[in-house]
Amino acid sequence: MTSRVPSVRPAPGLRPARRRTLVGLVLALVAALAPTGGSPAQAAPVLLSQGRPATASSTENAGTPASAAVDGNTGTRWASAFSDPQWLQVDLGARATISQVTLVWEGAYARAFQIQTSDDGSAWTTVASTTTGTGGTQNLTVTGAGRYVRMYGTARATGYGYSLWEFQVYGETGGTTPTCGSANAAQGRPATASSTENAGTPASAAVDGNTGTRWASLAADPQWLQVDLGSSRSICRVVLRWEAAHARAFQIQTSADGSAWSTAWSTTTGPGGVQSLDLTATGRYLRVYGTARATGYGYSLWELEVNVTGTDVPPVEPTDPRNPNLGPNTFVFDPSTPTATIQSRLNTLFTQQETNQFGPQRYAVLFKPGTYTADVNLGFFTQVAGLGMSPDDVNLNGHVRVEAFWMGGNATQNFWRSAENLSVTLPAGTSVERWAVSQAAPYRRMHLRGAQNQIQLWNGGDGWSSGGLMADTKIDGTVVSGSQQQWYSRNSEFGAWTGSVWNMVFQGVTGAPPPNFPNPSHTVIAQTPQVREKPFLYVDGTGEYRVFVPALRANSAGTSWYGKTPAGSSLSLSEFYVVRPGTSAATINAALAQGRHLLFTPGVHHVSEPIQINRANTVVLGLGLATIQPDNGTAAMRVADVDGVKVAGVMFEAGTVNSPVLMEVGPAGSAASHAANPTSLHDVFFRIGGPGVGRASTTLTVNSDNVIGDHMWLWRADHGDGVGWAANTADTGLTVNGDDVTMYGLFVEHYQKYQTVWNGNGGRTYFYQNEMPYDPPNQGAWMNGATRGYAAYKVADGVTSHQAWGLGSYCYFNVDPSVVADRAIEAPTNPNVRFTNMVTVSLGGVGTINRVINNAGGTANAGTQVVYLTTNS
């Protein structure tokens, strides 16, 4: 369809010379729009405004109405009152993409004006502007969209009003009303500044997606920070995360060329902190222009975030399955790599990570199939893994170990590390491997060779350790638990086991000791009713990277791999989107919408909106304990109520702005059955506080039915930075609303109300480890109505069926040792609600747990620090 050319008719009082000039300009416009013989034919833009409803800020008289500017008649005109500002607006009837606006001025024209678009006739976006209007016929090429378009005049060129013979809008109709997106269009874009305080505070630090780095200016006024968005964008929101040195007076400005700036927002009373500013502006460049500092220092921004309208996101890059980009913190070795090179890298990582409990660094060390000589000493946030289909495809002659010498032998803080899918042959003359760990340190799908060898779960006599997991693992020799306080072993094969402190649970383990609770405190369950092992990355015989997804197993015992072919499916890494730090949540969600799975590389991944898993059977796999942190109080991940989602090897970190929940599996009210293909969570960990303030009301909510949890630690920090009763606030660790949910190896600690709340029927927990909050300031601050404190494990009163085996709850009320928790477990009295083998401990006699479950069981306090109870019936 071609545009209509308006007819030219003489207007009253118009001189013939002026009329001829007008005709020439219109014909020139038509010629400019017509395709030439030397160029491919293209569809001309459509005239959308003619005959559409028009309104104006004013009219000079009844003979110059707004409608006269859109009637296709250049002999009629709209004219305004003789004042500034004035506007003329046309309703296109539907949203349109605008490409051209033509203004045919009468003698009374605008020296300064803007062309603006709107979807509702209220909020306007400027798509073109000038302060040097020439009058006559102005043909403006624009990029914008909206249902409404207006000319907004701010300065007249004559003493009369504004007067337009015709106001013509060209483009294409269609599209939906855009919303203000949550993706940060500024992240990773080029940034410049008027100055920097030093080399450690560059402009780029304010757009790197890391709220732990910042831009800082010199201590002078004015100063500015500018970001190039790459193309003209419709800007709807700017979020400023100020460091303490913030602006009292500043402007948000936009520009098409980085030279001429328009002010979109301003204040002289800036409060600092996090400022979320809703505005309407258009530009390729955006800058924060500070004119008055609030402190004696310069201006300092942790992060500048820019949200835009529309749905455009960066393209989702493909993944080369033979040469994937796994990020700078993933190290892949093959048998041709010199041993010295491997050992040097391992030593460097351990030196950096041995005590780096709360730093942002994350690492994965991966070995392709073959034989190596290496001493792997794992520090914090380091994963070592083999890339074979079987653990025996990769053999390390040496060690894969964890020590606790950095804390004088005390391993109770040896968290966040993992060993997976490897076999280990100890050096000649050595018969002891050490895995001195506590929470979130899985030893999974491993093979320690040699019946004469042993693996110690503590530091060898000089300190305690406090909880861990072995799963799908074969130990040819003996597991020695020593001073390890509690441990969960599942679907493994041991030559032997020796040792016990408070709570040792064995499930589906061949070679487990005989059941004998409480002395020794061995809970033995012969089989695992239904479980899926953790998905893992491997390299096939052609050199292609793939992810193996193990199948569900029913009523199983022993490993899934030793002496057998594992059942399951294999996915090429080409089906995955590889997520590296700095990738926006919008891009991640775009990849998911395209049907991709996710592989998170080592690092801290900041998101400004939830990662939304909507497709059944999606796999989310993390390397190097990849960590996802919401920056603005949203959830970090939401999983739809669909079959078979697998989330594995990922840690969720609360941000400084409180999140209602960090992860949600199924929306509220989920009711579909997933019995044949449940969603499963493997080595999924949560942290609230520690590196700094973190807040979340609830950490994990499970609304879907039939979900499987396979080793999870939900932790409100009791030490580190940003820790305190009023600092890292968090009510509840785990809330289960779905039916028939099963948890294997569940660790929940230090929350301020109930640690775990179970509202669904048919739930089962195999091994539960809990510490109550250390830091209630006094009893009055920690009351549940008339009840002293909150239970560590709460089964709702309306639940009619629930079972749990091997539960431990401990207290250490070090702020006020007189604090009492009335009970560790609360559950309805019902023959189908059964608890087997429970223990409460007053650590060092600091604080009291009055009863084990409901009103049963003794009191754990300074007099009797450990209390056992075998059943609630």
Q: What is the dihedral of CA 319, 321, 322, 323, to 10 degrees?
A: 30
Find, among 659, 773, 660, the residue nearest to 716 by Cα: 773
Separation CA 551–CA 532 (nearest Å): 6
Answer whether 148's CB lies under 8 Å from 118's CB.
yes
* CA 871 from centre of chain: 41
Which pair of tokens denotes residue 356?
């780096």
Residue keyed to tokens 């009103």: 855
**3-class DSSP state of 664:** strand
Query: What is the residue-wise DSSP string for 178-243?
Result: --B--S-TTTTS-EEES--SSTTS-GGGGGSS-TT--EE--SSSSEEEEEEEEEEEEEEEEEEEE-
Which amino acid is present at 189?
A: R
What CA–CA distances, in Å, run from 104 to 22, 23, 54, 74? Answer: 8, 11, 16, 8
On whether the CB atoms of residues 606 and 209 are closer than 8 A, the answer is: yes
* Contact indicator for 589, 501 with CB cutoff of 8 Å: no
* Structure-token pair, residue 484: 């390890």
What are the start-end ranges of the E strands in 379-498?
382-386, 394-401, 417-420, 423-425, 432-434, 443-444, 447-448, 454-456, 469-471, 474-480, 486-490, 493-498
C-alpha to C-alpha distance for 86 and 70, rounded to whole angstroms:
17
- Beta-carbon contacts of residue 103 (< 8 Å; ≥ 6 apart): 137, 138, 140, 151, 164, 166, 167, 168
CA distance 210 to 544: 33
Peptide bond into 85 cis (omega under 30): yes
Element (H, E) at 339: helix 339-353
Q: Is the dihedral of CA 543, 545, 551, 553 positive or negative?
A: positive
CA distance 57 to 59: 7
Contact status, residue 493 vs residue 508, Cβ threshold 8 Å: no
Distances (CA, A) of 335 to 180, 326, 418, 675, 810: 51, 19, 22, 43, 47
Residue 33 parent element (H or E):
helix 16-33
Q: Is 112 exposed, middle or buried (0-12, 13-18, 19+ CB in 10 A)?
A: middle
d(CA 344, CA 210): 29
Are 761 and 795 in contact by the 8 Å Cβ rule? The answer is: no
Phi-psi region of 555 (alpha: psi -120 to 50; beta: other; left: phi over 0): left
345: enclosing H helix or E strand? helix 339-353
DSSP 736-802: E-SSS-EEEEEEEE--SS-SEEE-SSSEEEEEEEEE--S--SSGGGSEETTEES--SEEE-TT---E
Residues classed as catalytic: 771
In order, the DSSP letters of 606-653 are: EESS-EEE-STT-EEEEEEEEEEEESSSS-SEEE-S-S--EEEEEEEE
CB 806 within 8 A of CB 505: yes
Residue 456: which residues within 8 A CB-CB, separation 6 or more? 432, 433, 434, 435, 436, 480, 482
Name the 3-class secondary structure at 855: coil
Dihedral sign from CA coordinates of 775, 488, 696, 787: negative
HSE-CB of 142 using CA atoms within 13 angstroms: 33
